[in-house]
Structure 1
Amino acid sequence: MLRRPRCQRHRFPAEIIAHAAWLYFRFPLSLRHVEDLLAERGIEVSFQTVAEWAAKFGREYARSIRVRSRGSFADKWHLDEMVVAIKGKKYWLWRAVDTDGYVLDALIQSRRNRKATLKLMRKLLKGQCVTPRVMITDKLRSYGAAKREIMPGVEHRSHKGLNNRAENSHLAVRRRERGMIRFKSAGQSQRFISVHGPIANLFHLPRNRTSTAEHRKLRNAATNT
């Protein structure tokens, strides 16, 4: 179970704040949508307040989830990058997932080269505290160059067709990007995806490995976390 946020000097109890943050990060909802859903339950808060709650307590939730799940992911990692337009400037969202689709980490960078790939890999190794057995990427040569420098003993498979797992994982971010009417800055997008990934992992339950009853049990456990 995750710790409830410490809500001293807040007008609303921790349960309401946690529910508002959960709605915002779990579903492709805008801040105004969350405001309307809370109002339907008789909770009158502004969307600015919801934004402050999400920013303040979302990082705490994500940090707790990362610590709890460290070292529990599969040893086959998929890495990929996608373009994100922020105020007319092109950025790259670098993303790593394991073979089951769980998000390992995500990083917004302005470049798509070996230096940017090295930064992602160092962040992954620091966060996961383990080295993967296999790394799967597309045909971008920066992956191979960075891998040889930082993880020379890891098997590298470079093939676009093998990396559908990572490419499909970007869909959830695309939906949120549309709901938020694009990201407003690189810092704002990094803060959001750093929280969105760990929370999404709680509800990512591979259906091909669980029965319907097991899926419902795990979903209820994630909802009550």
Structure 2
Amino acid sequence: MTVRVVLADDQTVVRAGFRALLDLTDDLVVTEAADGARAVEAVRTTRPDVVLMDIRMPGVDGLEATRRIAGDRSLDGVRVVMLTTYQVGAYVFEALRHGAAGFLLKDIEPDDLRAAIRTVAEGRGLLDPAVTRRVIEEFARLKAPEAAGAERLAVLTGREREVMAPVAAGLSNEEIGKRLIMSPLTAKTHVSRTMTKLGARDRAPLVVLAYETGLVRPGEH
């Protein structure tokens, strides 16, 4: 399976480094973009499976570019992954709200990078537990639960709400199953139904909503 990737970063050296890592395998085809506007253009032209999006870029930044991609119904199959550091928690949180499928640290190991791209290309969200906690909780502490958001959870069953907590901690279906004493397949079914009811393309929006509504609070996993 060939995975098409758009790599968006305003730093030439960073793009070259990532491209060198991705070009080591035959199944990853990379297109580069130097800013958010060019990234959106490249996505509309090449219809990639995955976009690796830097957050801070001149002109149209990664956040706005992600919003434009996620808001285009013709690009529903495209998954955006933010490239970030620990220092930009608020930006990552907003990126997830705008439709990003997850995020990666820029110092990720090469094998992990390639595996992450394939994971997202298969339609699964990318939420590393350690990064999820450190980045999202930092920003979640600054936000009070939103009553309007809490009303959105009314469509969920009790079991589906229960499943959202481990999803917010970045756990896999297998890990959720162990925690809630159910099979991985049953966990996957509950997660899928939850995403459908809440209109989420993948797991990332569930994480944001769980924190915004107070269903999960900082420090609770």
Could you say which TM-score interval applies, normalised by the shorter chain? under 0.3
TM (norm. structure 1) is: 0.24
* Higher Rg of the two aligned structures: 1
